[in-house]
A and B are shown apart, each in its own frame.
Chain A
Amino acid sequence: MKLKLNKWQLPLTLVFFISGILLVSVLRSLAASDQTPWRQKNANLVAMIQTQEKVIARLEEDIEQKRASLDSYQRVLSRGKEELQNLQNILQELKIWSGLVEVEGPGIVISLDDNRKGAEVAQAKNPGQFQAGDFLIHDKHILYIVNELRVGGAEAIAVNDQRIVTSSDIRCVGPMILVNTTRLAPPYIIKAIGDPDRLARVLGMLESEYNILKMAGFPVNLEKHSKIVIPPYKGSYQFTFAQPKEE
């Protein structure tokens, strides 16, 4: 029995041994080579996935950049809007200052008229010395009163609804008074927006033009109002000579 075992054991062991070596060698070389079709396919797929991943990464970077630039654009845009708002505010303020906007507020209304009664009386009493001009409202009266209103802090002034602005002139053309190149006829209504009490105080001072006219018997009147509307300047500003100084 033992001899019989020995008889087959050695050859079979040898056969198994060599089979083992061969089997493992083949399996290993098959595993090592990339030439098996499924392996190649896998490699192709892996390469494809890797390229796609790279593309995706690049696209994501692209998106990131685009978002950043969009953000910056929006920021610039909002800043632009703010600037526009600021500019519009400044423009509005300047328009108010230049009298191009209708304004309202508390103030006083003065009415002046020619002293017709006084003129009749004077003419009847002493025709030889009668001077008609002494009993009329002249351009300088209005000019002085406007000046006094400015002293009193008037922020907007209009004479017979002609807005007094920086370029306004008040002058006499024959029997008429010209303000802003518009002819005015009595009675003259002067409106001024400002502190009504202060304006009235300035006009009520002894040497003020208004007071002088009142003393001379002209039919003048002064009313304080809590709300006066003053129309805008309808003319234009034209600068032909004055230019902003270059710095």
Chain B
Amino acid sequence: MWLPLLGLLIGIGIGSALAFPIPGAYVKYLSVAVLAALDSAFGGLKAILEEKFDGTVLLTGFFTNALLAALLAYLGDRLGVDLYLAAVFVFGVRLFQNLAIIRREVLTAWLQKRHLSSTGGEKNG
């Protein structure tokens, strides 16, 4: 259960330790990629809670979304259109949706659990 959290912490640790410099011009694209990555991470959490999890979908979605977001932002810069705003919008909205669903799922699970414990061992499995 705690493995993903551990992974996050290790990632943060390695990111801090490596500290590979990103040129100022690419920080914007990377920011969008981070948004996509977070979206995927929360999407994965949501999928687990909804019991629809698929590792392949998650991983492909994670990498392609991040890459696409960065590429779109870059393309937008080339074209002179702020396309990265589209990525920010999309991933932002999805982040909020995922977080809302996660919250609801956790809440219902918790309420169910409490209900079960209060009724006292009457569950059938």
| Interface, chain A (partner B; CB < 8 A) | 5, 7-26, 28-30, 32-33, 35
Contact = CB atoms under 8 A, between A and B. Distances in A.
A16 B44 CA distance: 10
A13 B53 contact: no
B7 A14 contact: yes
B33 interface: yes
Contacts of A11: 44, 55-56, 58-59
Given A8-B44, A12-B45, A25-B20, A19 B55 contact: no
Contacts of B5: 16
Given A15-B41, A20-B12, A24-B11, 14 more contacts: A7-B53, A9-B4, A11-B59, A15-B59, A16-B5, A17-B10, A19-B34, A19-B41, A21-B12, A23-B15, A26-B22, A29-B24, A32-B21, A35-B24
Contacts of A35: 24
B37 A18 contact: yes
Interface residues of B, number: 41
A26 B27 contact: yes
- The DSSP consensus for interface residues of chain B is helix
Nearest to B38: A19
B15 A12 contact: no
A28 B48 contact: no
A40 to B, nearest CB: 12
A53 to B, nearest CB: 30
A35 B1 CA distance: 40
Contact of A22 (B4, B13, B30): B30
A13 B22 contact: no
CB-based closest 9 A-B pairs? A20-B11, A24-B15, A13-B7, A11-B55, A17-B7, A19-B37, A17-B11, A16-B8, A29-B22
**A5, A12, A15, A23 — most chain B CB neighbours (10 Å):** A15
B11 A19 contact: yes
A20 B30 contact: no
Interface string B37-66: 110110011011000010110110010001
Contacts of B79: none
A14 B34 contact: no
Contacts of A16: 4-5, 7-8, 11, 41
B118 interface: no
B59 A14 contact: yes
